[in-house]
Amino acid sequence: MKFLLALAFRNLTRYTKRTVITASAIAFGLGLFIVLDSFLKGAEMESEINLINYETASAKVMHPAYLGERDNLPLKYVIEEPEKIIDILDGNSIAATPRVVFKAELFVREDPYPESGSVYVKGIALDPSRDDEVFRLRETVKKGRYLEEDENGVLIGEWMASDLGARVGYPLTLRVRTRYGAYETMDMEIVGLINSPNPQINKSTVFLPLSTADYFLDMDGAVTELALSPGLTFDRSRDPDKMAGQIEKLLHTNGYDLQVHSWKKLAPDYVAMAAMKSTGSRIILFLVFVIAAVGITNTMLMAVFERIRELGMMRAMGMTDRQIRLSFLLEAGGIGLIGALGGLIFGALVNWPLVEWGWDFTPMLKQMDIGYRISGVFRSMWNIPTMFRAFFAGIVIAMLVALFPIRRALKMQITDCLRDE
């Protein structure tokens, strides 16, 4: 065995050009696979974090009839006396914040705006003193300031402000329907502009104080939802549906007939889109892997076929077929090892700036919705298990593809091998 290992190592150094070319093909293919896989995994993970931190929270408490009509943002299915429920949740170390979500038509008028017009938006009334326990909206204020209680102030996204020509201090009017169906207008002032990592927040959402909305919408202290969070950092190991079920059971035990929905249930469109993209990503990765495997196969085939005469000479000197086959396999494994190591380094070097700084797609994402909850910079993530799987796959593929030409050569007569050109 030592002789075969020494022979394989010597052949690697003896055919330096061939070893470098073959290993480079393996390194490029595996490096490309590692970079693409890390990029897609990073986009998926960051999108889920932005969905939870700025849109759905980890879970929400709702009226039993609300979820079925959630797309209409009804105000008739509410949670009465939310403070009592918040006290129960606080006692069980669950952060909770009340919100009222409603439809509104936003009006602006020429002077100070460039032109008059209106646009339909989603209104979210929040408690400025509690909302930070669940969401991270305060951190996204780029101009002006955050909301204060009992003021007629609103926060809007910078993307919406850009479309309207709005600035901090500009007035706007919201036309809404109250809890009992009457029309109401709210004259407000823009107190801040936000730029969230979640594009859904930047495009068409208006935030205002809960107390102000409570007065104009005739909510009488009721809210449409309580957003929950066991922590601001998303924990993949926690089962969202199981956690929601446990909190719902807690509320039922305390006499509240309410439902608790996890973020997965609150964003079925995103979950379905993510599943579809995941399937598409796997197909793309498979194709990249096939391309890499074909490249490895071609170079290994050429490497073995060009040495048919050498193989015939080894047989003429008395080496058994098993020894020759093992010698070539060890040599192929050595090339695979060099190439896989190079692919690991190449993939890591390309992936590192994508993990640290990402790739800014802001101009494209501002004009189109690709489903991900990422507003601009896509960041990759280190997917260590996949990197190691790619590393070992490079070695195994190099050895497997070498089997075919070796087998064919061993079937040839020794004289035919020695005459091979």
Say what the pLDDT of residue 277 is: 64
Q: What is the pTM of this model?
A: 0.73
Q: From the centroid of its chain, how far is CA 46?
A: 4
Say what the pLDDT of residue 241 is: 83
- C-alpha distances (whole Å) from 384 to each of 39, 94, 146, 282, 372 are 13, 33, 40, 17, 23
Say what the pLDDT of residue 233 is: 41
Q: Which helix (H) or strand (E) holds 418?
A: helix 414-419
Q: How far apart are CA 282 and CA 284, in angstroms?
A: 5
Structure-block tokens of residue 85: 């429920």
Lowest mean pLDDT among 134-138, 233-237, 248-252: 233-237
Positive or negative, the CA dihedral 217, 223, 229, 230 is: positive
Give the start-to-end residue ranges of the domains of the chain: 1-52+270-411, 57-266
Helices (H), 217-307: 240-253, 263-266, 268-305
Decide if pLDDT at 195 tops 50: yes
Q: How far apart are CA 176 and CA 192, in angstroms?
A: 21
Q: Is 174 helix (H, G, I), strand (E, B) or coil?
A: strand
CB atoms within 10 A of CB 318: 7
Residues whose CB is less than 8 angstroms from the CB of residue 190 and which lie 6 or more positions away in sequence, other chains included: 144, 153, 154, 155, 156, 161, 166, 167, 168, 169, 170, 171, 172
Say what the pLDDT of residue 234 is: 40
Report which listed range, 152-156, 318-322, 403-407, is most confident.
152-156
Q: How far apart are CA 137 and CA 132, in angstroms?
A: 7
Torsion from C-alpha of 256, 259, 261, 265, nearest 10 degrees: 180
Structure-block tokens of residue 131: 């909302």
Say what the pLDDT of residue 146 is: 95
Give residue 317's pLDDT band: very low, low, confident or very high (50, 70, 90).
confident
Axis-axis angle for helices 16-51, 268-305 (nearest 10): 180
Q: Tell me the β-bridge partners of 205.
A: 122
Lowest mean pLDDT among 60-69, 216-225, 332-341, 357-366: 357-366
